[in-house]
């Protein structure tokens, strides 16, 4: 078998169709809202990489710290022959797991970006020529169907991305994961933890303004893909903590009343002065809550690790018996 294969389950026009649908629905509802995946064109990905290196943005460093410290324990607990990574991107942190998993012979990165998948695979195969990489161009939120690979399998969902899903979406996601896991398989989940408001807000509103540029990039994407005329300078970046929901919200706030035209949708969008467009939620978690949500889906949490400062957690879960 070739060391690299790529399967596309996402139709070639699916991304464009989804953007049109999300913009048409999200900008005509009250309050206005867009899903965070539209940040990530090439420029958005560059900006997010820059964010992960900012002093205020702790999640990436904290999660990497845990992975490096616990990789051998994860390997011993799972003895995985296949590593599946959802939203794999550059597969950067996963390299530490791959080195630790002595029994690993298959890696299945799953991402909506074919270029990200092929780029990451090239580097991995250079370092691990014995590894078979089966990349999957797919959106896991619209059905999780994994290729047949050797068991046991370790499914990794890292980066705290689970926080971008609302509770009902998390429930559906965990149920889909459970349906894919056989006895002996496991889920490795990264979750950002509840902490003081100042630390959380600073992580999403850095002094250098990189997160603000990242937030406004969604307008640039809409301009380019849907011929819109948004001026990012007409909006302020807003990050706030919702203590009731225990999540961070990122918003774009109109500085003055304006009308944005989106010719590709034959749509004109009115903003009142001060009106906000929500672009992301990022839920933060407590151990008991994560364990409960996983248990509801039929997953038993067997390990819980945090970084030294208790900012971020990795959990390992397996299909519950019975």
Same domain, 106 and 172: yes
Same domain, 235 and 107: no
Q: How far apart are CA 108 and CA 86, in angstroms?
A: 9
Asked if residue 210 lies in contact with residue 47, where contact means CB atoms within 8 angstroms, the answer is yes
Mean pLDDT, consecutive 10-residue segments, the chain of 322 residues?
78 87 98 94 89 96 96 97 88 88 92 80 85 88 83 96 96 95 97 98 98 98 97 98 98 98 98 98 98 98 98 98 78
Same domain, 167 and 190: yes
- pTM, two decimals, is 0.94
Query: What's the CATH number where 303 sits?
Result: 3.40.50.150
> What is the structure's pLDDT at 117?
82
Same domain, 120 and 231: no
Same domain, 62 and 133: yes
Same domain, 209 and 72: no
Q: Which domain holds residue 207?
A: 13-56+201-283
Same domain, 67 and 175: yes
> What is the structure's pLDDT at 87?
86
For residue 31, tell me if it sits in a domain: yes
> What is the structure's pLDDT at 142?
75
User: Which pair of tokens denotes residue 95?
Assistant: 């390299």
pLDDT digits (tens, 9 = 90+) for 130-167: 899 998 888 887 777 888 899 999 999 999 999 999 99
Q: How far apart are CA 237 and CA 78, in angstroms?
A: 42
Same domain, 115 and 130: yes
Asked if residue 105 lies in contact with residue 132, where contact means CB atoms within 8 angstroms, the answer is yes
Q: Nearest 10 degrees: CA dihedral of 229, 235, 240, 242?
A: -50
For residue 4, tell me if it sits in a domain: no
3-class SS of residue 292? helix
> What is the structure's pLDDT at 2?
59
Same domain, 309 and 173: yes
For residue 39, tell me if it sits in a domain: yes
Q: What is the C-alpha radius of gyration for the chain, rounded to an integer number of angstroms?
A: 20
For residue 8, tell me if it sits in a domain: no
Same domain, 43 and 68: no
State the total domains in the chain.
2
Kindly provide the residue ranges of all beta strands, DSSP E only, lying in the chain, ordered along the sequence: 4-8, 32-33, 82-86, 106-111, 132-137, 153-157, 186-192, 235-242, 247-254, 258-262, 267-271, 276-283, 299-306, 312-319
> What is the structure's pLDDT at 217?
96
For residue 160, tell me if it sits in a domain: yes
Q: How far apart are CA 116 and CA 128, in angstroms?
A: 18
For residue 178, tell me if it sits in a domain: yes
For residue 312, tell me if it sits in a domain: yes
Q: Nearest 10 degrees: CA dihedral of 213, 219, 220, 226?
A: 170
Same domain, 87 and 206: no
Half-sphere CA count of 75, side-chain side, radius 13 A: 17
For residue 7, tell me if it sits in a domain: no
Same domain, 269 and 210: yes
Q: Which residue from 219, 223, 221, 217 is spatially nearest to 262, judged by alpha carbons?
A: 223
């Amino acid at each position: 078998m070739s060391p690299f294969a790529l399967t596309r389950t996402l139709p070639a026009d699916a991304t464009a169709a989804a953007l049109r649908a999300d913009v048409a629905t999200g900008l005509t509802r009250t309050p206005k809202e867009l899903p965070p995946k539209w940040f990530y064109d090439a420029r958005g990905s560059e900006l997010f990489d820059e964010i992960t290196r900012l002093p205020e943005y702790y999640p990436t460093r904290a999660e990497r710290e845990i992975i490096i410290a616990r990789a051998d324990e994860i390997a011993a607990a799972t003895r995985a022959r296949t590593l599946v990574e959802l939203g794999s991107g550059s597969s950067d942190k996963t390299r530490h797991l791959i080195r630790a998993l002595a029994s690993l012979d298959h890696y299945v990165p799953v991402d909506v970006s074919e270029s990200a998948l092929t780029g990451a695979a090239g580097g991995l195969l250079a370092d691990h020529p014995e590894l078979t990489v089966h990349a999957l161009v797919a959106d896991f939120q619209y059905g999780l169907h994994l290729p047949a690979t050797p068991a046991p399998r370790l499914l990794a969902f890292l980066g705290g991305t689970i926080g971008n899903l609302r509770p009902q979406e998390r429930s559906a996601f965990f149920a889909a994961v459970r349906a894919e896991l056989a006895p002996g398989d496991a889920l490795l989940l990264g979750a950002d933890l509840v902490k003081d408001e100042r630390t959380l807000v600073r992580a999403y509103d850095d002094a250098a303004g990189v997160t603000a540029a990242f937030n406004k990039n969604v307008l640039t994407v809409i301009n380019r893909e849907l011929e819109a005329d948004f001026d990012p300078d007409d909006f302020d970046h807003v990050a706030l903590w919702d203590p009731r929901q225990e999540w961070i919200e990122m918003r774009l706030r109109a500085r003055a009343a304006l009308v944005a035209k989106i010719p590709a949708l034959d749509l004109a969008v009115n903003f009142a002065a001060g009106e906000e467009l929500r672009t992301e939620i990022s839920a933060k978690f407590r151990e008991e809550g994560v364990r409960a949500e996983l248990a509801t889906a039929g997953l038993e949490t067997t390990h819980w690790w945090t970084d030294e400062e208790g900012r971020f957690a990795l959990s390992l879960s397996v299909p519950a018996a019975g």
